[in-house]
Homo-oligomer: A and B are copies of this chain.
Amino acid sequence: MVRRAASEGGERRPTTIRDVAAHAGVSVATVSRILSGSYPSAPATRSKVMKAVRELDYVANANARNLAGASSRSVAIIVNSVVSPHYAHVAQGVQAQAALEGKLCIVGTTGGDPERELATVQLMRQEHAECVILVGNVVNNDAYRERMADYARALAAAGSQLVLCGRPTLGPDVPALVVEYDNTGGAYAITSHLLSAGHRRILFLGRHEGYTTSDSRITGYRNALADHRVPHDPGLEADGTMERSEGYRMIRERLAAGPPDFTAVFAGNDLIAAGARQALREHGLRVPDDVSMVGFDDLPPAADIDLTTVHVPHEELGRTAVRLALERGQDKAAPAQHVLLGTHIIVRDSVRPIRPDLG
């Protein structure tokens, strides 16, 4: 095995890009092009260069990259947690598109802590990430918008790009790209699906006032009720967050308080649906024979519990975020874009029609 330069004991000069080129038998420009991730390059050449990089333990530093005039090499996505299938599938789209574009993908996780979010954005900026993608549910208040505007300007000043994914726009003055999906339209469509099957008492699980995702889904639910001239009963909206355990809790508490006063459940997402279904079963109620149910997301566990739900194009959100950011990286003068991706219903076996005079 080739000995590396920076081993313990005697100091040697650091390996340079010239050493790598010589070792691989290619030009410095070729090494630079391959390391910068500006594809395409012949697989055999890439192999040779990567082998030399490994054998010489070469670390391309920011300085070397700048000297070579190479672009930066990574795209970054920042999420609360990778355990949530919602975040994980958006991150998967980011990873897939990054791979296509010859970039690395790094994921920062914050556990929902704004200070860790700030520190992670700074780390990504130091690392010269070409874009930093922030995903998901937020409280859209002044403090949030100011924090995002700060990030957007700081990243733009460093030649990078903030992308908000599944979050509302910050307005024309802030240099952020926005890739949203149609939460309200999806909720409207799936509520209409239940209404068309004759359901009038539809329990919404997962109201979380002030949070963008829940607010826009409940807006779609209420709009559909109004358009179908079904009175809105605020008692049919249960407060809770977007977790499986919360779906379980909301149904348990409701059934402990009295017999079911609903014929269908609109779970704020598929995880809530899975938890709610378990609580219903423990109470002797089957889906869809006794209670109809729909969800939102079309992610695991929707297929396993045969759930009719709203398909959200999670991976496409991630891919679009990367694509738009890299395009804009080429043309700084282009206006910041705001893209809205569509949603649609996936019909499985969790809804039964009832007579319209019930409820």
- Confirm or deny: A109 has a beta carbon within 8 angstroms of a beta carbon on chain B: yes
A92 touches B99 (CB 8 A): no
In the complex with contacts A99-B111, A126-B59, A54-B147 CB distance below 8 A:
yes
- Confirm or deny: A1 has a beta carbon within 8 angstroms of a beta carbon on chain B: yes
- Find chain B residues with CB under 8 A from A61 CB: 126
Q: Which residue of B lies closest to A53 (CB)?
A: B118
In the complex with contacts A1-B146, A54-B147, A83-B73 CB distance below 8 A:
no
- Mark out the residues of chain A between 204 and 256 whose CB falls within 8 Å of any chain B CB in the assembled complex: none
Interface segment out of the listed A18-26, A153-161, A182-190, A193-201: A153-161
- Find chain B residues with CB under 8 A from A8 CB: 157
- Confirm or deny: A282 has a beta carbon within 8 angstroms of a beta carbon on chain B: no
Q: Which residues does A use to contact B, with CB under 8 Å?
A: 1, 4, 6-8, 35, 46, 50, 53-54, 57, 59-62, 73-74, 81-83, 85, 87-89, 91-92, 95-96, 99, 104-109, 111, 113, 115-116, 118-120, 122-123, 125-127, 146-147, 149-150, 153-154, 157-158, 274, 278, 300-301, 303-305
12 contacts between A and B (CB under 8 A): A1-B150, A50-B118, A57-B157, A60-B126, A62-B126, A73-B119, A81-B92, A82-B91, A83-B85, A83-B91, A83-B92, A304-B304
